[in-house]
Structure formats: C-alpha cells, structure tokens
Amino acid sequence: MNVKKLKGTIEELKEDLGPALLSTDIWAMSDGQSIVGYNPQPKACALLNKVSKDLEKSLKSSDLPELNRYYLLDLVDNKMVVVIPLADHQWAMVLDKRELQLGMLLNIVLPKMIDAFEESITE
C-alpha cells in the first residue's frame, strides 16, 4: 500500500469537500487501526470496523443483496458518516451535512476516492 499516495488523496479530499469534511480514516479490517487520516478517530475506526463486519454478515444471511461500494449513516446534529469497504481495508469520513453537496460527494468524490485507493494498493 502506498501510504504517501493516500495522504495526497486525503489532501485532495480536504480540498474537494472543504468544511464539510470533519474527519477521515483508512484502516485495516484485520485490527481496526487507522493507517492514515485527517482528524483521526481511532475509536470510530474500531467500532465501524465491527459494524461493517456485522452488516456484511447480516446481508449475506438475509434475502437482500450484498453491500456494494459504500454505506451512509445519517447522524444527529447534521452529521453523516460514509464508510467504504475496500478489500481488506475500510475508509470512513465524518461529514457536516450543512456544508455538504451530496451530488458532489456521490458522483465525484466517492468514485475518485475509490479509484485512488485501488491504485495505492497495486503499487
């Protein structure tokens, strides 16, 4: 994994989302420890790691399709969490919805993040 490239991607993310981005972390699913981030949230990494594993297990045992590229959590106080499972890692962001343009996030930022991550693990 090219951590230097991911740090650059996080800098781009900060520019793309501006004040909407409150924090972001990328962590390994094996241990839930943040590898790189901005305003890192180590407790959230560990807990979201468990939530993602439980969500995937629940979807597999139901009649629903499996998780695709990401999931969103709508929180109180105009906050949102986006979690992107990526192979053996996950990437999460905490966002301020008052500052967020949802179309920008879904159509431009998330695909760009996913592509950048996939590039970083092939190097």
> In this predicted model, what pLDDT tens digit does every residue of 60-72 receive, in sequence order?
999 899 999 999 9
Domain that holds residue 14: 3-122
Q: What is the pLDDT of residue 123?
A: 62
> In this predicted model, what pLDDT tens digit does every residue of 39-95 receive, in sequence order?
999 999 999 999 999 999 999 999 899 999 999 999 999 999 999 998 899 999 999
Q: Taking the model in full, what pTM does it have?
A: 0.91
Domain count, the chain: 1
Report d(CA 123, CA 108) in Å as an integer.
Answer: 23
Asked if residue 20 has pLDDT above 70, the reply is yes
User: CATH code at 75?
Assistant: 3.30.450.30
> In this predicted model, what pLDDT tens digit does every residue of 25-44 receive, in sequence order?
999 999 999 999 999 999 99
